[in-house]
Amino acid sequence: MPLLDQPLELTPGAAVLERARGGDIAAFRELLRGHQARVFSIALRLTGRRADAEELAQDVFLKLHAVLADIESHAHLRHWLLRTVTHRCIDRLRSQARRPQLVPLAALAEADTAAPESAGDPLMGARLRQLLLQLAPDPRAVVLLRFQEDLDPAEIALLLGMSVNTVKSHLRRSLHWLRAQLPGDGNGS
């Protein structure tokens, strides 16, 4: 049988996506389970509030269900989820017309237990999380996508609809500000 006539074998993730696109609810649940921790974690870190993160994650997955036919691949799905949750969080923060506020340490401890995959997360220090919540929504999203999701500036620019130079500027200014706020890190001591 010629190579071109052979049926394509789908990876497990692609097969689940295809079944979900075909209306298989169990496959959609499997997609949701596979991505819910990442979506919730991003929402929680950006908003700083568990209730907001839960609501935003639910909104993202409802929207995903509505646009599932447009998702072309598992990589496209991942990109779509990252882009959508980040934009929804930024929109929420802007619509609340509030500057991100300090979150009580008890709420930060709740964030630690809410995202079990965060054990190796470089953003786990309570003080650092507290400082991140003081950043404006766009710079906060850039820092989290860079260091929590390990995306490069070009990927972040694509997700957020910014130029690469804007992403780099947000990173540079945010890291400079964070270093100045952390004892011993910004003062050369």
Decide if 71 is inside a domain: yes
Would 5 be classed as within a structural domain?
A: no
Owning domain of residue 165: 12-181
For helices 137-147 and 164-181, the axis angle rounded to 10 degrees is: 90
- How far is C-alpha 9 from the geometric centre of its chain's CA atoms? 30
**∠ Cα 43 15 62 (to 5°):** 35
Q: What is the DSSP string of 16-73?
A: HHHHHHTT-HHHHHHHHHHHHHHHHHHHHHHH--HHHHHHHHHHHHHHHHHHGGG--S
| Residue 36: per-residue pLDDT | 94
Question: How many angstroms separate the CA atoms of 101 and 175, rounded?
Answer: 19
Residue 186 belongs to some domain of the structure: no
Residue 30 lies in a domain: yes
Task: Report yes or no on 189 lying in a domain.
Answer: no
pLDDT at 185 over 80: no
In a domain, 89, yes or no: yes
Residue 30 has pLDDT above 50, yes or no: yes
Give the count of domains, the chain: 1
- 106: pLDDT strictly greater than 80: no
Residue 150 included in any domain: yes
- 130-182 pLDDT, tens digit per residue, is 888 899 999 999 999 999 899 999 999 999 999 999 999 999 999 999 889 87
Separation between Cα atoms, residue 55 and residue 63, nearest integer Å: 12
- Establish if 19 belongs to a structural domain: yes
The 10s digit of each residue's pLDDT in 48-101 is 899 999 999 999 999 999 999 999 998 999 999 999 999 999 999 888 755 445
pLDDT band at 11 (very low <50, low <70, confident <90, very high): low
State pLDDT tens for residues 112-128. 444 444 444 444 477 78
